[in-house]
Each structure stands twice: as structure tokens, then as C-alpha cells.
Structure 1
Amino acid sequence: MVSLSVLDVALVAPGGTARQALHDVVRTAVTADACGYHRFWVAEHHNSPRCAGSSPAVLISHIAAVTHRIRVGSGGVMLTNHAPLTIAEQFAVLQSLHDDRIDLGVGRATGGTDSGTLLDRALRRPAQARAEFPQLLDELIGFLYGRWPGGHAFQDLELSPALPVPPGVFVLGTSENGARAAATRGLPFAYGAHLGPTSRPAALDRYRSAFSPGPLGTSPHVIASVNVQCAGTDEEAERLAHDTAAARFRQKHTATSPGTALPEPRERYLISRMLEDLQLVRGGPATVAAGLRRLAAALGADEIMLVPYDITAAGRERTLRLTAAAWTPSADRDRPRAAGGQGRPVVS
């Protein structure tokens, strides 16, 4: 059974505010909890006026406080921006406060739009941080799980608060580098299919072939994130997907080329390319459910993480409600499952 989860990257709506975007993330998380989704993750972005989620730990704390069953976590914290001990301490506090339902997904990107060194300098990010990601990951695992490479300089340090059940650690990635880092440590791999052309399916083959069973995981576990637009009918979903893509395209174009306009045919072409690159699963409930099942089978995913594609919180909530209803047979929705806790089923 493939579980469904949710990733919300706190996109600011065209003409909207970052404050409203953050409140919308919380609203969407409450809906995901009520619909029985397995996880709800938020991301780390910097130097982007279109993304409000710069501090996952803070946002996770608030979401976990207003939800009840759903696992809440990061998709992800950019480990190369932070000292592993700092992240371990933050998530140890979150795990202690919120009933052991915290996930820690980590990546090695900057999480920002600046391709030079200015953002790196502001984050105190060393130039070699990406190359050091495997060592940073080992430090994080050492602090959380007490499992250190032999003779590690930090192995005598103790995590505070101490944890009987550490948060689950996941490695995010779109390439074979992230897949290898997850596989050799027996960790789950969150594959960013929603990022479109930058995602390389070969990473999944590398992850499975290189997977090494151990104390942190005995078999490979793949989460695949995907953009989803679900509406009452296929036709309505197609219209909403195009409207959302057009609004996003114009928002980005205005930010990068203020005061200029593209010829209408050129704009239509670029918007259609944008939708194609997003690999958006869209349609009515039955169409979306079938599309997600095909994707899960093609990628061999154990879990699908929806990235609801809409500029409004109401639209994202609609996608979550309709997809959950189509994914889970009604008999299952009415029967509690132990995995969900508190009498609610996990969408699977």
C-alpha cells in the first residue's frame, strides 16, 4: 500500500503577502491532518520573495501544535547551511514536545536563488559545504542516534534533550549523490520529482542498488514528491492548472523583468512548457488517483508526497480532499488503523 503525504513550500500568491502564505501553510496542514495524510513537510528557502518558508523548525513547531495525528517535518532542512548539532538540538526539542511525530528531511542545496557567494556568506556557509554533506550527515546521525564513525571528534558530546525515540532522518535529493548518501547509511530517500527536469530517475536505481541495511533501516524506502492539481472534473483541473501556471509565470517574469511584457504567443508557449516541465498530475479525482498510482509504480515509490499546485489555500485544500477521497476506498476510510493513531486512517 502506497501512503500519501504532503509537501508545502509556502509559496507567496501573486499580489499576496508572506504572512498570509505562512498562515495558508498552517491551514493546509490542518486539512491534511483531517484527511488522513501520513506526513506534512515544509521546506527551507532563502533570498526568494516568492517563498515564505525560511525557517522550517519554527514553522514545524506551530503546525505540530495545531494538528493531532499527522507526522510533521522538513522537506527539507538544508544541512549544509547549519551546524549538525544545532539541527539535532532543534529537532530533539520538537520531537520531545510533539508526541514523537517529527520527521527530519535534510538536503545539501543552499535553498536559495543566489547562485554566487553572497547568500553563502550571509548564511556563514563554507564554500566546500556541498562536498562535505556526507560528513555533516554522519554528524547529525551521531548526535541523534549515538552512532558515530570510529574515533569521531564529537562522539563524547551528548545531545540535549536526550531522546528515547529520535526523529526519523530522510535524505532529500534529485541526483545520484543524494541517493548514495541515503543508501550507504540505510536511510529513506525523498526523491524530488516535483522539481521537474532537474530530477534524475537514475538516482532511484542507484539508491536501491547501493542500499546497505543497518540500524537506521533494513530495506530501501522511497518517497516521491509530485505536483498535483485535482478538481471536480478533468476539464476544471486543466483550466485551474493553466490559470495557476500563468499566474506563477507572470509573477516570476515581473520580478525578473519589471516593466516588460512578452508577446502573447510567446507567453502561451512558455506557460505550456512550464506545465510540461512540472510533470503535473492533474484532473478529476479518479484521473489523479490513477495518475499517482502509475507514477508510484513507475518509480517504485513506497510513498507519494503531493505538492498541491494552486495559488490559493482553498485550492490546495480542494486538491488534498478530493485526492484523499479518491485514493482511499470508503470502507477503509471508516475503519481506524493502528498506523494512523487516534482513530484516523492513514491515506494509503
Structure 2
Amino acid sequence: MVSATMTAQQAIAAFLERLEQEGYSPATRRVRRRWLAEYLDHALNEQEGSGLSAAELMELPRADAWLTAAAAGRTRERNTASGPHSPAARDTQRSRIITYNQLAEWLGTPWRLEVPPPTTGEHLDPEEARAVINTLATQRPVGTKAATAIRTAAVAALVADTGLTVAQIAVRKVGDLVLDAGDPPPRLLYEGEPYGLAPETVDVLERWLAQRAEITRPLQGSDPGHLWVPVQPGPGRGARSVPEPTPPGVHPAHINTLRAAHRRLVLEILGRPVRPGQLRAAGEDPLTALGHVHGARDEIDLHELKLIDHARAHNRSWTEIAAALGLPSRRDAQARFRQLAARWPDYPLRSRPGTHDAARPQDADQLHAP
């Protein structure tokens, strides 16, 4: 249980830092940060006091009010094709609930929200996608070859990390993978573009490559380098009456083989269907998905501006704000505030000078240290 005196801002900052320390992927941390910033901003705007403690933030009426507003599209900062206040998608509401529950568990507060079941055709929350991949990599149904299980997990991990389709990943070569740690970090190369890989994905891929090396050993140096290969010899080819089986690795594993293995293993292990596409960070073209990432980053930055402004309006020091933001000094926090305020010059700053602050400048470009 965290300290009862911890503010909501401090609790969220500490929680996000804990996720990073525990090795959560950047995608998961980005989702958690976005929803918690939205939740805190909504709670601060709704309540009448000067601030919120961590325990007050987690009270169920506040969570319910936030989810109701989000479902109606009232928390959205950017327009959409359906209008600025179009209803939230079910998968994003589910992700908000999971985020709340995860923070509540870490804080040790007693309340939890019921998580609705996943909807077929929608994308899984990043943490859920990673859990599915981990299950595929560690649990093998009776009668399933170890190589089939780890190959299936490796395909799923690449789909989740890169946002590429199974069809795009199925034709990759071993040489398209760069798994050595360092600078640049591990990545998959696709049509000349690098796709970064999380540490857990690298681990699964290395396990598959070890299996693959054993499978293709009979080729004795004539390995054509297909990333995905059958796990057993295929039917023979040629004019002989009894053709010899084709050694694994001569031909790539067919895309239907990869999909069928995924479908069968997921049903046996999880008891429900999860298509590979549901594991992807975005069910769109990568460039479209990048546009959404840019939009999400803008939303997070605007929330950050609002929260800094709110903290200053309630006489929180720049040193405290710097600590909450993970910045080394108060001057860095002030510089960050100036940068954000310059990006949104029309945002009505409400902070007022504290006891030891200089007068608040009227122009965002004139913001200066106290």
C-alpha cells in the first residue's frame, strides 16, 4: 500500500516508473500513461477541492464518471471522422478499465471494475496481447511439437510488435532479423524499414531460431534462409516412383500452415479464438497507425500542460513538479512548461504565482523561472 499522503499525480508518476522498471513494453506504458492522464484531468476538472490524494482519485464514483464521459466522447481532445464527441470504441473503454484496475492493485485500494469480455474483431489491450504471446511461448498442448509451439509464439510476437500482417511476416528471411543488443536496438527489417522489437519478442525469436537451426541441420550449408520453415519433412518431389521427402527448410512454411497452427494452439490453450491481427498495436496500415501515435502523443502533451498548470495554480513548487515528471531539476520542469504552453497558445493558463514565485507572465513565450 502506498502512503496515504501521496497525491494523485505522484501516485501515477510512481506507477508508470514501476511499469518501466518491471520491463513493460513501451506500447503498454504509453497506453497506461494516456488513460491515467485523461482520468486525472477529468477528476480534477470535476472536483471542487484544491487537489486529490491517490485514494481519492480511485474512488468508484470518480471512475464511473470518467468512464461515462469517455464513453460519450467528452474526454476526447481531437476530432474524428465521426465527430469530436462520437462514442468511444468498446476496446478503448476496456483498456481504460484495465488501466484503472492495474493502478488500483498497485495502490492497494479495495475497488475494482468489471472488465468486459473481448469483442471479436477488436484489438486486444497491449498487456493482454503480450499475455497471450507469453502463454503460447510457455505452454504446449499434449501432442504438439515444441518447434510448432515456439514458431507460433514467434509469429504472434512479431505481429504484435511490428503491426505487420501474417502475410507480410510469412515471407521474411532470417537475415531480416537483427537481434544483437546495442545501438541500433534489435529490429526487424521490412522493405528497408526497421521495426523495433521488445526484449520479450527477442527472447521468443531466439528460441525459435535455435529450434530452426536443429530442423535445418540436414541441409548442411545449403539453407536458403527462410525465417519460417516446416517442422517436419514435406512430401517428396520428382519423377521417382517413391520420391524422397523434402528436408525441412528447403521451402518456407506456407502461410496457411502458420495460420492453422496459431488457430489450433490458441483454441487449445485459451479456449477462445484470438486472431493474429487482434494482437497488433493497430489494425491499420503502419503509416495510418503512426498518425494515430502522433495524435496520442499530442493528447498526452496537452494533458501534461493542463496538469502542470493545475499544480502551479495550487502552489506546487517547480521542484515537486520536476520530481513528478522525472526531470532532474526545476529549471527543466519550467522549460518543459514553456515548451508546452508555446504549442497551445490559446489554452487558458490558470496558474497563479505562489509565495515564492514571480508574477505570472501574460504571454506563453515570456514564461520564465521564478
What TM-score do the two structures reach when normalised by structure 1?
0.31
Higher-helix-fraction structure: 2
Larger RCO: Structure 1 or Structure 2 (Cα < 8 Å, ≥ 6 residues apart)?
A: 1
Structure number with larger C-alpha Rg: 2
